[in-house]
Amino acid sequence: MLEGCRHSGVKHLVFASSSSVYGANTKMPFSVHDNVDHPVSLYAASKKANELMAHTYAHLFALPVTGLRFFTVYGPWGRPDMALFLFTRAILEGRPIDVFNNGNMERDFTYIDDIVEGVFRVIHNVPTADPAWDGDAPDPATSYCPYRIYNIGNNNKEKLMRYIEVLEECLGQKAEKNFMPMQPGDVPATYANVDDLVTNLDYKPGTTLEYGIGQFVKWYKEYYRV
């Protein structure tokens, strides 16, 4: 992808990174100005590698690149292997759902409409070199070349059990829960600091779980005719 952009004169590459890059970090909320050098999954390591490759192309070829660290995106038309799909299907079919870390998980759930708004704003804001960038105290979110990293989330962490409760309310059915240990490579919490996106691009997330999950359930029932 980077080679294609380099040779075809792309004016701005916006690519998907992930909240998973924060790995073993525990300072909340996660900030793009903190280092992310301790991934805990291969997926996280691959996303960190994407950021490094993008920065290298910005340095070598002056290709403007912006990486967006997505935080637990949910909503209509999402991937069917994600938790909200799996939970919904299982509950409607009367099957139990697997709840990892015994339910002690927190996530910055971000509704798709807020994600789309953020992506749209970023696309039209081409990064430039930051003249204040200092190699003696390097800021991971900016650079001396046209490179930028943003968190794109709801800036509000919610308990996984609350997420499930709202889904139960929207479906009108209770879930049977299998409480499981945390999976290798997972983290107990994510929480996005979106100050840079708010300050620079007037990003305004704020979709509630009640509204977002309600919209998903409405779409799911219509699409799958259940």
Top-level CATH class of 2-224?
A: alpha beta
4 pLDDT tier (thresholds 50, 70, 90): very high
With bands split at pLDDT 50, 70 and 90, how would you rate the model's confidence at 225? very high
Average confidence (pLDDT) over 121-148: 98
pLDDT band at 132, cuts 50/70/90? very high
Cβ neighbors of 64 (< 8 A, separation 6 or more) are 11, 12, 13, 58, 126, 127, 128, 146, 147
Q: Give the confidence band of 215 by pLDDT, cuts at 50, 70, 90.
A: very high
User: What's the pLDDT band for 122 if we cut at 50, 70, 90?
Assistant: very high
- Residues annotated as catalytic are 43
What pLDDT does residue 104 have? Answer: 95
At residue 44, the pLDDT reads: 98
| Residue pLDDT, tens place only, 92-118 | 999 999 999 999 999 999 999 999 999
pTM here is 0.96
Peptide bond before residue 39 is cis, with ω within 30 degrees of 0: no
Categorize the per-residue pLDDT at 59 as very low, low, confident or very high, splitting at 50, 70 and 90.
very high
Domain layout of the chain by residue ranges: 2-224
